[in-house]
Structure 1
Amino acid sequence: MDDQQGFQPRNPFLRSRGLRIPKHPQFTTGQVRGALREDRYELKESNAAKRIINGDDVVLELGGGIGYMSAFMAKVCGAKHVHTFEANPALIPYIHEVHAANDIENVTVHHALLAGRASKPVPFYVRKNFLASSMDKENAEGIIEEASVEVLGLNATLKKVKPTVLMCDIEGAEATLLPQGDFTGLRAAVIETHPQWIGQAGVQAVFDTMHKAGLTYFPKASHGKVVVFRKDF
């Protein structure tokens, strides 16, 4: 999946909020490129992370994307360690490139997804538009590869990683996955909710899960769909 082979721009990096982001013909184009250059990419999550993450924190990130937030939390916020989970196999090499470009060594990248319990690997459909890849085969248009993704148990992972902060952007799955976890070990969480997909009941499930873990909604660091919870007021 080395789509960057032979791709050597004169200036190979975009600069964004203190990070060097390698240019890529699929991942850093159009609106993404503009948002990175103008420091708007993942702005709400970045602002929240900078406000709550410190050098003692171990972060569990669900939904690694292009590696921007894991790099930001590791280098700019100074997290002790970040464990980032991403299901899309097409993104994994690029996430490593982002980390390498910023001399980041305190991030562990997991090509896996989390579920209520571990299970056999599941299919993941890589599309020509890599960012549109998903586990949904219903719309087969653009599929170029069927990959296999490891499925790990959420609570087993929490016990192993022992995170103090949760960063979560999993495109609507937060409403079904998070209620299955025991997050009592967290001191803070940043969650992008997707009410257009999960509805009021789904948003309520997220809030109830965090409150059950002893975390309280923190409005000063929340913004729109990105909600922050804290234990250490």
Structure 2
Amino acid sequence: MHEFTLNGISLGLPAGLATPEILGKLADGTYEADEARSAERCVREGMRVLELGAGIGYVTALCARRAGPENVLSVEANPALLPVIEDNLARNGLPGVTLIHGAVTGPVAPDAMADFAVSTGYTGSSLDGKGKAVKVPLVSVHDLIWAHKPHVVLMDVEGAEAEMFNRPWKCPLRFCVMELHPRKYHPRTIKKIVDFMSAMDLTYDPVTSRGKILGFRKVWGAGEDPDALMGDAPAGPEE
């Protein structure tokens, strides 16, 4: 077991999942640095957080530490990472995070399964990637949003984000931060994402954006307290 501490978060990584590149980033503090920076800038106490693509649970733990574990719902497709995430949350005293196994996409049929390609060292694993294929449940982003009603959505799903913006999200969304994967889709898909966020009254957020990490925040006026905008989503199921 390799052990590291990043931003006060204790992390363990089994040797079988480690690659020299991952170990190097964990050692020098650059592992998921942009994602961690974004999470620490938008997650606040009491906010409900939906994390799509939990990895080894580093950003999960940061969100749980700030928002409270009971407010965090995280989804991870790679079954080998689920016990790692649980262990890393436990070693930081953050029980209570809801962890779901599945690959998140757009609308899906009930009990749908798909091949998920697990790459060496786990980073880069995806529904359309290369690597050992394992069967995983498909999870609809719309069902997750309806169930959790997040104020913050964080996603790193290796291109699956292209399928998630085909109908409105009914939730009190205040921030959305995602890693884009422009090699996996046409620039029009990025425009579709930006237009979708704009239609939800969210705008580009330079504070949480960096490189391929694209952040959006709710549009609030000068002098408005964003905490006062934290309300519940409208009642009733999505259409």
Aligned equivalent of 2:112: 121
Aligned equivalent of 1:175: 162
* Consecutive unaligned residues in structure 2, runs of 5 or more: 221-239
- 2 CA distance for matches of 1:81 and 1:187? 15
**Preserved CA contact (<8 Å) 2:201 2:219:** no
**Preserved CA contact (<8 Å) 2:174 2:217:** yes
Aligned equivalent of 1:231: 218
Deviations 1:95-148 (A, max 9, x none): 1111112111141110022333232332335657251654448x5xx63xx543
- 2 CA distance for matches of 1:125 and 1:154? 17
Computed over aligned residues only, the root mean square deviation of the Cα atoms, in angstroms, reads: 2.3
Deviations 1:12-52 (A, max 9, x none): 52111111111311334312122122221111111111111
Aligned equivalent of 2:176: 189
Question: Does residue 200 of structure 2 align to residue 210 of structure 1?
Answer: no
**Preserved CA contact (<8 Å) 1:188 1:228:** yes
Aligned equivalent of 1:63: 53
Structure 1 residue 71, shift from structure 2 partner: 1.2
**Preserved CA contact (<8 Å) 1:183 1:213:** no
Q: TM-score, normalised by structure 1?
A: 0.82
Structure 1 residue 232, shift from structure 2 partner: 5.2
Distance 1:81 1:28, change over 3 A: farther
**Preserved CA contact (<8 Å) 1:168 1:191:** yes
Question: Does residue 46 of structure 2 align to residue 46 of structure 1?
Answer: no
User: How do 1:1-233 residues align onto structure 2 when only pairs under 5 Å count?
Assistant: 13-75=3-65, 77-79=66-68, 81-119=71-109, 120-125=111-116, 127=118, 129=120, 131=122, 133-136=125-128, 143=132, 147-182=134-169, 184-231=171-218, 233=220
- 2 CA distance for matches of 1:221 and 1:153? 25
- 2 CA distance for matches of 1:53 and 1:230? 12
Given residue 149 of structure 1, which amino acid in structure 2 is its aligned partner?
V
Distance 1:127 1:156, change over 3 A: closer
- 2 CA distance for matches of 1:197 and 1:34? 26
Given residue 218 of structure 2, which amino acid in structure 1 is its aligned partner?
K
**Preserved CA contact (<8 Å) 2:13 2:56:** no
Given residue 212 of structure 1, which amino acid in structure 2 is its aligned partner?
A
Distance 1:222 1:46, change over 3 A: same
Given residue 121 of structure 1, which amino acid in structure 2 is its aligned partner?
A
Structure 1 residue 185, shift from structure 2 partner: 2.1
- 2 CA distance for matches of 1:89 and 1:23? 14
